[in-house]
A and B are shown apart, each in its own frame.
Chain A
Amino acid sequence: MSRTDLSAATALCGLVLLSAVAGSVPAHAQSAYKEAPPGPGDADAPGKPSDNRFAGPSPFAPQAPGVNAANIPDGPPAEPSEATPAVEQVSSHPAHDDWPAYGRDTDATRFSPLEQITPENVGRLSRAFVYHTGSKPAPGQVNKWAAETTPIKVGDGLYMCSAMNDIVKLDPATGKEVWRHDAGVKYASIPYTAACKGVVYYTSSSVPEGQPCHNRILEGTLDMRLIEVDADTGKLCEGFGYHGQVNLMKGMGESVPGFVSMTAPPPIVNGAIVVNHEVLDGQRRWAPSGLIRGYDAETGKFLWAWDVNRPDQHGEPAEGQHYSRGTPNSWATMTGDNGLGLVYVPTGNSAADYYSAMRSPEENKVSSAIVALDVKTGSPRWVFQTVHKDVWDYDIGSQPTMIDFPGQDGPVPALVVPTKRGQTFVLDRRDGKPLLPVEERPAPLDTDVKGDPRSPTQPWSVGMPRLGLPDLKESDMWGMSPIDQLFCRLKFRRAKYEGEFTAPSVERPWIEYPGYNGGSDWGSMAYDPRTGVLIANWNVTPMYDQLVTRKKADALGLMPLDDPNFKPGGGGAEGNGAMADTPYGIVVSPFWNQYTHMMCNKPPYGMITAIDMHTRKVLWQHPLGSARANGPWGVPTYLPLTIGTPNNGGPVVTAGGVVFVAATTDNMLHAFDAKSGKEVWNDVLPGGGQATPMTYEYKGKQYVAIMAGGHHFMMTPVSDALVVYALPDGK
């Protein structure tokens, strides 16, 4: 066993899990399934693999072809270093007309000072142009598309990525393509979803103005590269990494294409690009590492790594070694704080989301949390956990928003943290302490998963309005008729349900509510700093989960992606998963009638809320999204009733007093009066609007842009259209 693994093993051997984990350390090194920790010793659970088709590759095995997508030479392992001193970036003080970052500004407010479009004239919006990215499934390809893109606008350019990471610059007035950089991402590299939430605008500190790559566009790709191109020409920046690219799979150990991916724009904080990545859920306990790394924005040079189970090693692993496997990954958009020199990392779960007995104490401290990393060193300065020992896939999907919290002695630098639970935490950015009361409340403990006890308490942000509805009751079950309603009542009664945090169960299904789509998922929130109003759209979508023994998981054909016998479709990220290397697999579906595909709980399934942060009172709240494109068996009803649909994608608020949000499964872009919450305009999009809109001004005209890429899991139509609206001329 290697030295790296010995130290990881030492770290793993915490007090609580000592006995359980002792057995897993060799398993970690050799990846022998039979060495999984003792514990849940069902007759048909751990022990012997029933079939050697399910024996996984060693974490030391070489990476599969295509993992290092651009075949970039690795070079020797890098020691920690410091970033090239940075100049101030446009996102710190955005120009009035611009939207220079994913969340508009460094604070991620999604607030624009533009006021041309108002609740009074928004009804006259019409399409200025539609741009087609060209990225959608080819005939015969399984649809894994959900572009989720928010363009950025700086000066004379509208910059965005396609779902498959091609970078484009568009004319902000006409949508005409100025240049296109073909990223060459292959279909096999799509993880759960072909998504690219956005690109990053970076101004160089060393290249003088007027020369190529003074201003650059940076993106992280599905196949784990950082790419920097010149903002004027789209040509690769030779001075960055290896001819413009960095291979992020260096040091990750065994992997296959699609296992590890970047879908969110990495923030640049004081010259350091902070990189997180998605590790495909539900595959295996010893999946590739979920670590966070820093790279020099100027040169692409490695700066530091934060690897939970190697907390004191900030350099790259020695030759033949790899970062510690299975650690919590972070796939959400992070928020950078140049002033405090921190990056706020919204973390997810250790690999194998629904089984926590094999996690190290270090992992348990930082999963489903906000971790504030020092961008100079990669060391955590503080951690705030939103779920203890998460086995519900309550990873944080939202980008936290920085606000000046109205405190008693003046404004406090605060971080607003939306969660899938619908609990919104408000923290002091300096130390991570809650600014509003957080209560540790008792949580259900009853579980038949042996050796995997639950946390006796969980944190509740009682000082903020809850973005959620009361616990489910049998009478909340729904349908078109008494018969399908009864079917759902029966499903409800057959399952274990003790309210939020109902513990996993093997013997029968359990209801997970809120579900893993939120509350707040990746859409994040919008905050108007002038009025102190916070806008949030959220979901009411319970899930129906069950752990299955390894034998049953094998019978269901659940295999991890990197299994040599894996066939696509055998186990996805959001749904059934092998959770190989653990005693259990997981079977998950929405809590719905599987025959009609209607949710089992009654509407609404999606809501939008405005909260006054001065008083923490709800100003307005109502269901979001109409029934027009939804119905039993997926048949659209065309009913213009606001039923409240599931939604993915965030809101935007403007100084003109308009809230724009698409997100809903009615495939519409909606505009609300920010004061009253009244819906003042909407338009049907060519595909699902599962993205956050943005707004900008160009040559005196305000535009509103939405990527209508659709979302395969939300079952909305896929398209490659960016739809941009403006008021007609002369008004």
Chain B
Amino acid sequence: MAGLYRPRRASEWATCAVAFLLIVLGLPLLIMGAELALLGGSLYYVVAGAAIIAGGVLMLMGSVAGALLYLLAWLLTWPWALWEVGFDGWGLLPRLLGPTLIAVLVVFTIPVLRRIQKTSLAQKGIA
């Protein structure tokens, strides 16, 4: 059944919070990024925003794929950032620091999401 899972334990609540955070941060990226793309600017932000929101939504649904989607977006941000500014530390800071901190949080949700996924599959199996 596609739907939101009900968090019970603290770790599940925390995972839920991370998922919400992704959506909240992804929305401005998507909206402003769309305008930026329309004005002829970088396409990175609208694409990243969409991926991050999708990741957050999937995580809310208890899918580990959501976390992996975020991590993929994060991973691809590195070559993009290096392509845009090279090894300029000040240039890399806004592009990589925040996303990396969030990537750490997302990594911690993977075991939790795995467990949720297993439980729900098991429940499906039983049903």
A519 to B61, CA, bound (A): 54
Q: A475-B84, A478-B90, A481-B97 are in contact. Are A493 and B41 (CB under 8 A)?
A: yes
Selected contact of A486 from candidates B33, B85, B93, B97, CB within 8 Å: B33
* A478-B94, A479-B94 known; A490 vs B35 contact (CB < 8 Å): yes
Write out the residue numbers on chain B whose beta carbons fall within 8 Å of the beta carbon of A481. Answer: 94, 97-98
Q: Which residue of the partner chain A has the closest CB to B83?
A: A475
Contact A485 B41 (CB under 8 A): no
- A481→B88 CA distance, assembly (Å): 16
Number of B interface residues at 8 Å Cβ cutoff, please give it. 24
Known: A493-B39, A493-B41. A480 touches B94 (CB 8 A): yes
Q: Which 6 A-B pairs have the closest CB atoms?
A: A481-B98, A493-B39, A485-B94, A479-B94, A493-B41, A475-B84
Q: Are B36 and A490 in contact (CB under 8 A)?
A: yes
- Tell me the dominant secondary structure on chain B's binding face: helix
Q: Determine the distance from Cα of A264 to Cα of B39 in the docked complex, in whole angstroms.
A: 46
Centre residue among B25, B48, B94, B97 by max chain A CB count within 10 A = B94
The reply to whether B95 and A489 contact each other, CB–CB distance below 8 Å, is no
In Å, the complex CA distance between A681 and B21 comes to 45
Chain B residue numbers with a CB within 8 Å of A475 are: 42, 84-85, 91
Provide the bound-state CA to CA distance between A602 and B81, in Å: 14
A positions within 8 Å CB-CB of B: 474-475, 478-487, 489-490, 492-494, 602-603, 643
User: Given A475-B84, A489-B36, are A482 and B42 also a contact pair (CB < 8 Å)?
Assistant: no
The answer to whether A486 and B36 touch across the interface, beta carbons within 8 angstroms, is yes
Taking a contact as CB atoms under 8 Å apart, the answer to whether B42 and A474 are in contact is: yes
Q: With A474-B41, A475-B84, A490-B35 as known contacts, state yes or no: A483 contacts B90, CB within 8 Å.
A: no
Summed over the interface, the residue pairs from A and B with CB atoms below 8 Å come to a total of 60
> When each residue 82-109 of chain B gets 1 if its CB lies under 8 Å from chain A and 0 otherwise, what string results?
0011001011011101110000000000
Q: Is the interface of A mostly helix, strand, loop or mixed?
A: helix
CB of B70 within 8 Å of the partner chain: no
Please tell me if B72 contacts chain A, counting CB pairs below 8 Å. Answer: no
B25 partner residues in chain A, CB cutoff 8 A = 483
- Tell me if B40 counts as interface (CB < 8 A to partner A): yes
User: With the chains together, A490 CA to B95 CA distance in Å?
Assistant: 15
Task: Report chain A residues within 8 Å CB of B41.
Answer: 474, 489-490, 492-493
Beta-carbon contact of B29 and A485 below 8 Å: no
Q: What is the 8 Å Cβ interface bit string for chain B, positions 10-21, against chain A (1 contact, 0 not)? A: 000000000000
Known A493-B41, A603-B90; judge A485-B35 contact (CB<8 A): no
One of B35, B40, B91, B94 near A482 (C-beta < 8 A) = B94
A333 to chain B: closest CB distance in Å? 34
Interface string of B25-68 (1 = CB under 8 A from A): 10011001101100111100100100000000000000000000
CB distance from A677 to the nearest CB of B (A): 20
Q: Taking CB as reference atom, which chain A residue is nearest B101?
A: A481
Known: A475-B84, A493-B36, A493-B41. A486 touches B90 (CB 8 A): no
